[in-house]
Amino acid sequence: MRKHKLTTIQRRILRQIPEGIERPVKIADIVRITRINERTVNRVIRQLTAKGIPVVSFRIGENKGVFIALNEYERELGLVSYTHQKNEMERRISDVRNADLKHWKSKIS
C-alpha cells in the first residue's frame, strides 16, 4: 500500500473533518476555524479524496456537511449528493451545448 504525504494545509483541513456521519462539519465552519478561504478548502478536500481519503458530503436535513465515511452505508449516503450534483452539471452542459448561439435573444421576452 502506497502512503501519501500530506501538505501542511491538507493536514490542517483533514483534522477538521470528522470520521463518521454523526457530526458532519460544514465547509463554512472549516473556513472559520482554519481561516482558509472556501475555494481552497474545497480544493484541498478534492485533493484528500484523490489521495484515497473517503471524504463525502451530506446535504440533506439539518446535519449538512462533510465527513469521512467509515462504512459502505456512509459512503453510499455521502455519494448521493455528488451524484445529484453530477447529474445537474450534465444537464447544464447539455443545455449550453444545445443553445442557439445566434438566436437565443429572440426566444426570451
pLDDT in tens, 38-61: 999 999 999 999 999 999 998 777
What is the DSSP-derived secondary structure letter of residue 49?
A: H
Looking at residue 59, its pLDDT comes to 77
Provide the 10 A C-beta neighbour count for residue 61: 6
Provide the 10 A C-beta neighbour count for residue 44: 22
Tens of pLDDT, residues 83-95: 998 999 999 999 9
Looking at residue 2, its pLDDT comes to 76
- Asked whether residue 34 carries a pLDDT value surpassing 90, the answer given is yes
Walk me through the domains of the chain, giving residue ranges and CATH numbers.
Answer: 9-98 (1.10.10.10)
Looking at residue 3, its pLDDT comes to 84
Looking at residue 69, its pLDDT comes to 97
